Structure 1
């Protein structure tokens, strides 16, 4: 009978990498997208990029923009910041390209994959945690 080796937390962290990737199949395009895990700094930058001023001078997180920025940062292939892709969709930047190139269900599917490999088991949990 084979023994299962259980590492303690320190051993697990010392042997771990933050470079985690996965693939997501997009049936409409008949291709796979490669996505990567986002670390805390990337999440913070995405939240900052999606926080916009309101008419009252306060700041508010734009949820749709936040999702698009997360995908733009977390999608390795295709690269939504590619100038040819941005030009093809008439987008202003990578996040805008995400919303113009993908259907809403595809956005949800890619975002869910990015969130899962970033350590969040539940999409709603990630969005709420990222907002805070």
Structure 2
């Protein structure tokens, strides 16, 4: 699992994802990478595709790709959500998370970012009718 998050915190992050997605058609995933040595955004894009995050109906999936050992974070918002919030939103979120990570607040940073992302998804992609969960909410690891 992870040396930076307890099993209980990981379970709580899954609940945060469920809560964040509740009022939106958007999808949020967290992937914790312990294998990649380089700071490589290409790896995050590979994970994004492997998790089928580029296949949601509204193209509004968001991936938080974290490598705690390498002190590396990539946030990928698919084209639908990126067009709505623009790069400045992701930059702000990235700065907040990495600032909290530097203080050792791994759980707090991820949970806050998930919930904030959920608010943006709700604003731009509100649920109309039935809300199908297109992707699993579990946190993935490599």
TM-score range, shorter chain: under 0.3
Higher relative contact order (CA 8 A, sep 6+): 2
Q: TM-score, normalised by structure 2?
A: 0.26
Larger Rg: 1
